[in-house]
Amino acid sequence: MPVHNRDIAERFTRLANLLEIEGANPYRVRAYRNAARTIGGLSVDIADLVAKGEDLTRYPGIGKDLASKIRTLVETGELPDLAEVEKRVPTELSDLMAIEGLGSRGVKALYKRLGITGLDDLEEAARAGRIREVERFGEKSEHAILAEIEKLRGGAPERMRLADAEDVARPLVEHLTRAEGVEAIEVAGSFRRRKETVGDLDILVACADSGPAMERFVGFEDVAEVVSQGSTRSTVRLASGLHVDLRAVSPSSYGAALHYFTGSQAHNIAVRRRGVERGYKINEYGVFLSGGGEEPVAGAREEEVFERVGLPWIPPELREDRGEIQAGEQGELPELVTEDDLLGDLHAHTDATDGADSLRAMAEAAAARGYEYLAVTDHSKRVAMAHGLDADRLRRQMEEIDRVNDEGKGATLLKGCEVDILEDGSLDLPDDVLAELDLTVCSIHYQMNLPREKQTERVLRAMDNPHFRILAHPSGRAINERAPMELDMERIIEAAAARGCVLEVNAQPARLDLRDVDCRLARERGAMLALSTDAHSTDNLGLMRFAVDQARRGWVGPGSVVNTRDLGGLREALRRR
């Protein structure tokens, strides 16, 4: 696999940046950025699509020209347009745009006037006080640039995991709720869309007078810096480094503002374009008639905005401009799975291996959540670090499960095991003991760096075992910690669909594996999913909502999720083909 989607997206982003610095047509620049966004949000590998000769123009924002450029890039590893523009302007200029407050115009001016091409040049010029000599720069921007360089040198800024963002948001929302005159408050942006990571927090408040809320916001104890402050919008940096935007509007604009601030940017643009087509101007204050007129025709509720452009209310998780608008228009928005749909959890550990709580405690905690069943899936022996089970210990655990089930106090415990998939694709326990289980959860914990073809074969071979049921944390990634394994996920999804294997959506906040886009591909290809917490304690059972988030972002409905079924239905759904 020579060219990853990520590489293709990065090249087009670079091309867009350099063209913008050169002063190219901004809509052409936007077209390249859109293409980068589309490609970055794909589950299938573009290189595979090209190899199969598929028509790339079926993807929105990719026309004949871009399709041909992509094909060239995949086949030759080269993007001739990028090579061309790099002959005219230094490619490092694109990286300078990562500096906050520095855009294409600023970079161009610094390059033309001072010959600055990289971070080192920029720092030197700033220290020498030469930046302020350039038009549209001054003392303040010069200092700001130095500060930003400092931050950038301290390591690339990471996006924050959604679960961590919740912990940051909670006290801040609590703090703002107590501001005078706040009638409604919501964390919007990527947080509301439930993206796996967030770049910042975007908080919206409704109030007649924004003053008290804004003051309270910048006065929050964790604020390290007030980046900007106005009457309707302020931005702060928290001690953790996370930025927070607060937007304040009157209650009559709350719906329009919530729509605006929830995004995504691409979704907003698409909805606003529909507005233009229908004679409206849509902004964060409401929907207005294009001809002018001060009075909005809608704005208090989010539904009104959609209604004006002929759409039903679209769940935030879908608002990525990835087909939700067309689906809404045609009345074909998917029914999305909810936490209430789930009748059990199919991946959990106990104190027999690396879990914190007993079988009995886990069964009772599952019942307290209203579950009908809980699969106990402790590690197999290969995972020695977790004191994994051999056949004997697993059999003793099965006996204990029988006893706990007989007591009938908790949810029904299913006999399972998280069986390690060994390097050759065989499973870590003998078939005879696996045959005694209700289900297996199979996963890779070692040798995660095999080449793509081998790693894919390893998983497919594991599926050959008739006792294989669920593929757990399929990519093995840990967000901000460990890259996913090299895998042909499309092949794995297709194999799962064909052979009656189930793919897990692991709810551990660092995993979220499958990803949203993989969930969507799985649904499209007819593979079944299991939403599971991989709980290592009774509390961990409560992580389920994070798996639900990503499944919903993947357009997944209850029908594609095995643990929406009752025990009888589940056993049916887990039958192998």
Ligand X SMILES: Nc1nc2c(ncn2[C@H]2C[C@H](O)[C@@H](COP(=O)(O)OP(=O)(O)OP(=O)(O)O)O2)c(=O)[nH]1
Partner DNA sequence: GCCGTTTTCGGCCCGACTGTTTTCAGTCG
Asked whether position 387 contacts DNA by CB under 7 A, the answer is no
- Of 30-89, which residues contact DNA (CB under 7 A)? 30-32, 35, 57, 60-67, 81
Contact segment (CB under 6 A) with ligand X among 198-206, 328-336, 440-448, 525-533 equals 198-206
Sheet strand arrangement including 470-471: 344-345, 373-376, 412-420, 439-443, 470-471, 502-506, 528-532
- Binding track over 353-392 against Mg ion, x by CB under 5 A: ----------------------------------------
d(C-alpha 24, C-alpha 15), whole Å: 11
User: Pick from Zn ion, ligand X, Mg ion, none: which does 534 bind, CB < 5 to 8 A by kind?
Assistant: Zn ion
d(C-alpha 322, C-alpha 326), whole Å: 9
- The first and second tokens of residue 164, run together, are 């961590």
**Cα 376-378-384 angle, rounded to 5 deg:** 175
| Cis, peptide link before residue 514, omega less than 30° from 0 | yes
> Smallest distance, Å, CB 284 to ligand X?
8
> Smallest distance, Å, CB 220 to Mg ion?
16
> Smallest distance, Å, CB 198 to Mg ion?
6
User: Pick from Mg ion, DNA, Zn ion, none: which does 57 bind, CB < 5 to 8 A by kind?
Assistant: DNA
| Cis, peptide link before residue 264, omega less than 30° from 0 | yes
Asked whether position 255 contacts ligand X by CB under 6 A, the answer is no
DSSP state of 251: G
Asked whether position 199 contacts ligand X by CB under 6 A, the answer is yes
Number of other CB atoms surrounding residue 207 within 10 Å: 22
Q: Which residue is nearest to ligand X (CB)?
A: 263
Nearer to Mg ion, 100 or 329 (CB): 100
- Binding track over 243-272 against DNA, x by CB under 7 A: x-x-------------------x--xx--x
Asked whether position 426 contacts DNA by CB under 7 A, the answer is no
Nearer to ligand X, 319 or 445 (CB): 319
> Smallest distance, Å, CB 255 to DNA?
15
- Binding track over 399-418 against Zn ion, x by CB under 5 A: -------------------x
> Smallest distance, Å, CB 100 to DNA?
5
> Smallest distance, Å, CB 246 to Mg ion?
10
Backbone angles phi, psi at 138, to 5 degrees: -155, -165
Asked whether position 234 contacts DNA by CB under 7 A, the answer is yes
- Of 172-191, which residues contact ligand X (CB under 6 A)? 189-190
Which amino acid, 230? Answer: G
Backbone angles phi, psi at 198, to 5 degrees: -120, 145
Nearer to DNA, 69 or 379 (CB): 69
Number of other CB atoms surrounding residue 65 within 10 Å: 13
Of 468, 349, 366, nearest to 410 (Cα)?
366
- The first and second tokens of residue 119, run together, are 């971070």
Alpha helices in 230-285, H assignment, sequence order: 254-262, 265-277
d(C-alpha 139, C-alpha 131), whole Å: 8
d(C-alpha 402, C-alpha 451), whole Å: 42
d(C-alpha 574, C-alpha 561), whole Å: 11
- Of 519-558, which residues contact Zn ion (CB under 5 A)? 534
Compute how many residues bind DNA; rule: CB under 7 A.
Answer: 61
Residues binding ligand X (CB under 6 A)? 189-190, 195, 198-200, 202, 260-265, 268
Binding site for Mg ion (CB under 5 A): 189-190, 200, 202, 245
